[in-house]
Every structure is written in structure tokens, then in C-alpha cells.
Amino acid sequence: MLSSRIILLVLFLAGGAAALLLARRQLSEGAHDPAIRAQRQLGAIQMGLERFTIDTGRYPTLSEGIGALILAPYEFTAEIWRGPYIEARGADPLVDPWNRPYAYEVLENGRGMAFTLGADGAPGGEGENRDLMGVSEVMRESAPAGRRKSSGIDTLMGKPAAGDN
């Protein structure tokens, strides 16, 4: 009876160790994949945008951009702007894994969105070249292309940003 318990305990510990090693390997692989790193950074930026909005009552303007998550826009006092809203650990949090600044646009509904154009730096693409956004595709598609303010995708595609002041 005692030996069967010991065998079960050893098997349980071995299974747990194997699961831990597998999970660690999966997490470390994600750290080396630029697209995964970009998606994580965009998630942090988008969370920062939401926290900025809670404190200030609005998303950063196009001219302020996502830099407003790190440095307070001139109009806000310390009581209103409670940032920085994203943490700068090591690398610049506003630069994507391909060493290009994250782009920012304001949708027609006033909501801010950070994005990157992927490894190739061009709109569209598949795999590591696909565009990555800080919000869901559904939200992005809900803003008609001709009716969103943009400092990003439309401008990068050579189109004037409709409604951009």
C-alpha cells in the first residue's frame, strides 16, 4: 500500500515537472516571436489608452498620440493626468519589435487605437507581415474607412486622412 502511494506521488511529481517545462518552453518561444511581442505590447498600450481615458475623460488626440501615455499633455494637471500609463522596461514601449514607432489613429467614434504594420511595414499582409492592432478587428471594421481620423493606416497608404484636422 505504501509503495503504491510512493509510485503515484513520483508519477504526479514527474507529470507536474514535465508540464512546467512545457509551459516554460511555450512562454519563452513567445518572447522570441516578434509578432507575439508586438501583440503583447499593443495590449499594454491599449490598456494604457483606456486608463488615460478614465483619468482624463478622453483619448489622446492625434497630435498627442500615444506619447501622451508617458508624458502628460500640457493641458492636464497632475490631479487629472495620473500617468505614466505604460511601463518602460528596457526597450522603448512605443517602438514595435521591428524598430518602428507604433502608429495611432482615432476612430470616428473618438476611440483611440494603436497598431503596427507588421514585419514588412506595409498595410495588409499575412503571417508576420500582417497588421496588428490594439483593438479587435470588429471594432476597427466598424469605423468606415472614409470616415475615420487617422495618423496611421490611411496616411501610410498614401490616402489623405478623412476628417483629420
* Residues 44-60: tens digit of each pLDDT: 999 999 999 999 999 99
56 CB-near residues (< 8 Å, 6+ apart): 76, 80, 81
- Provide the grid cell at 149: 481620423
Kindly report, residue by residue over 89-133, the tens digit of the pLDDT: 666 778 999 999 999 999 888 889 999 999 999 998 888 889 998
pLDDT above 70: residue 85: yes
| Number of Cβ within a 10 Å radius of residue 33 | 12
Helix residue ranges, H only, the chain = 2-32, 34-56, 137-141, 153-156
Kindly report, residue by residue over 128-164, the tens digit of the pLDDT: 889 998 864 434 454 444 433 444 443 333 333 444 4
At residue 100, the pLDDT reads 93
- Provide the grid cell at 124: 495588409
Please check whether residue 97 is in contact with residue 91, taking contact to mean a CB–CB distance below 8 angstroms. Answer: no
At residue 160, the pLDDT reads 39
Instruction: Name, of 10-14, 24-28, 93-97, the range with top average pLDDT.
Output: 93-97
At residue 8, the pLDDT reads 54
- The pLDDT of 8-25, averaged and rounded, is 57
CA distance 47 to 146: 26
At residue 136, the pLDDT reads 43
At residue 46, the pLDDT reads 92
Q: What is the pTM of this model?
A: 0.64
Sheet holding 112-116, edge to edge: 103-106, 112-116, 132-133
- φ/ψ bin of 78: left (φ > 0), alpha (ψ from -120 to 50), beta (otherwise): alpha
At residue 134, the pLDDT reads 82
Task: Please report the beta strands in 91-156, taking only residues with DSSP state E, as ranges in sequence order.
Answer: 103-106, 112-116, 132-133
